[in-house]
Amino acid sequence: MIGLQTKQHEMISSKEIGQFDREGYLLVRNMLTPEQVAELRAFFRPKFNLPAEDRLPGDTEGGLVDIFSRYPSIRWLLFHERLIELMKAFAGDDFLLMPESFAILNSFGRWHKDTTPWEKKSGRKIHWEKGYRMIGFAFYLQDNTEEYGGGLDVEPKSHLEPDPFISSPEWSKRPLGQRISLKVKKMWYACTGQHPILDAPGWDGTPYFFRRNPVKIPNKAGDLVLFDIRVNHRGSQPRQLPVPPEHEKILINGGFVINNRRFIQDRLDYYHSRDGCFYPKGLRYPADFLSEAEAHGIRLATDDQGRM
């Protein structure tokens, strides 16, 4: 994986864009300096300890929502020149920034696609239409290590395939051939020492077997990862819990999309179906945020009702 550089460095290449299209992710090296990483860790870590009354709806001890709207002092990260160039390279000069933005602490999660809950809940499949382009970005403020995690695991090319985490028929109702095949696979995995994923969200207890080897993206502190929101992924799992304070996982997450009204509306419908999980009811982009975004050539996505 080759890092992106700009101006005095090399611009993103067609090879890197091709890798993203083929594999569903891209590692971008050295987006932040060690000093910036330290500054962001020092800024965010105490905020996860805020009392409940000082949190927004959707905030938890492990996650802060709407961070670019509510924290003007960290917007420089969103307006980072290299990030803007990436968004243009992957989604066109008229890309739109999606409203979801989070700071996340020590969340390691289960295997999923970011489209899994919406497809499972509503049966919507717009994200499988030709030309769909919605990309998540994550700044990692620590190395991804075997001992403590700290990054992202992905299943390459899975963004091109149906969601295996949508609930499937009860075991007894599955075709006999499928049941035999899964039992054989389970025996093979047991004999080879490889382990299926048993805890996928929405799964009915039948193991999820990888069709290809998952990849632990080898990010360092200050790196950025871009990922197609349809790629199978999870947080890299730590071997040791609790994670020591100096190795705690903090990531800053957002997303952008090509300028397609239907794709945007579908995703925002999902946001607003989550009962305030992402945004308090009636929340709008602050005026100063709108002005700053416009000054940097960034358009912010809203739905057909003007909601973020």
In angstroms, the Cα distances linking 136 to 23, 98, 133, 176 are 14, 9, 10, 39
Note whether residue 6 is domain-resident: no
Instruction: Please identify which residue in the block is written with the tokens 């990531």.
Output: 251
Same-domain status, 132 and 267:
yes
Instruction: Indicate the pTM of the whole model.
Output: 0.83
Region of poorest pLDDT, from 72-86, 99-113, 233-247, 271-285:
271-285
Q: Which amino acid is at 253?
A: N
The domain total for the chain is: 2
Same domain flag for 74 and 152: yes
Instruction: Using the 3D structure, point to which of 146, 176, 207 is the last residue of a domain.
Output: 207
The whole-number pLDDT of residue 179 equals 65
Residues 43 and 149 in one domain: yes
The pLDDT assigned to 273 comes to: 78
Q: How far apart are CA 251 and CA 31, in angstroms?
A: 13
What is the C-alpha separation between 45 and 203, in angstroms, rounded? 33
With tokens 């239409």, the residue in question is 129
On whether residue 77 sits in a domain, the answer given is yes
**Do both 48 and 113 map to the same domain?**
yes
Q: Is residue 41 part of a domain?
A: yes
Q: Domain ends where: 207, 232, 259?
A: 207
Maximum Cα–Cα distance across the chain: 61
Structural domain contains residue 2: no
Q: What is the pLDDT of residue 199?
A: 41
The number of angstroms, rounded, from the C-alpha of 37 to the middle of its chain's C-alpha atoms is 19
Domain that holds residue 192: 167-207
pLDDT digits (tens, 9 = 90+) for 36-67: 999 999 999 999 998 988 888 778 889 998 89
Tokens of 40: 């962001």
* 133 and 278 fall within a common domain: yes
Instruction: Evaluate whether 148 touches 249 at the Cβ level (below 8 Å).
Output: yes
Residue at 62 is within a domain = yes
| 75 is a domain residue | yes
Q: Are residues 45 and 119 in the same domain?
A: yes
Instruction: State whether 201 and 72 are in the same domain.
Output: no
Annotate 46-75 with b (16+ C-beta within 10 A) or e (fewer).
Answer: ebbeeeeeebbebbeeebbbbbbbbbeebb
Of the candidates 257, 219, 294, 283, the one whose C-alpha atom is nearest the C-alpha of residue 65 is 283
Q: Are residues 201 and 254 in the same domain?
A: no
**Domain limit, last residue, from 176, 207, 238:** 207
Give the pLDDT confidence of 19-43 residue by residue, as tens digits.
999 999 999 999 999 999 999 999 9
Tokens of 67: 């961070």
* Choice among 105-109, 204-208, 280-284 with the minimum mean pLDDT: 204-208
308 part of a folded domain: no
* pLDDT, position 279: 57
Let me know whether 283 and 200 are in one domain.
no
Task: Give the 3-state secondary structure of residue 96.
Answer: strand
Residue 86 predicted with pLDDT over 90: yes
Based on the fold, state whether residues 145 and 230 are members of the same structural domain: yes
Closest by CA position to 83, among listed 207, 234, 256, 249:
256
Q: Any idea what the CATH number is for the domain that residue 279 is in?
A: 2.60.120.620
- Specify if 4 maps to a domain: no
- Helix (H) or strand (E) holding 178, with range, is helix 176-192
For residues 174 and 81, state if they share a domain.
no
Same domain, 43 and 153: yes
At CA 196, angle to CA 240 and CA 24, rounded to 5? 85
Task: State yes or no: pLDDT of 163 exceeds 80.
Answer: yes
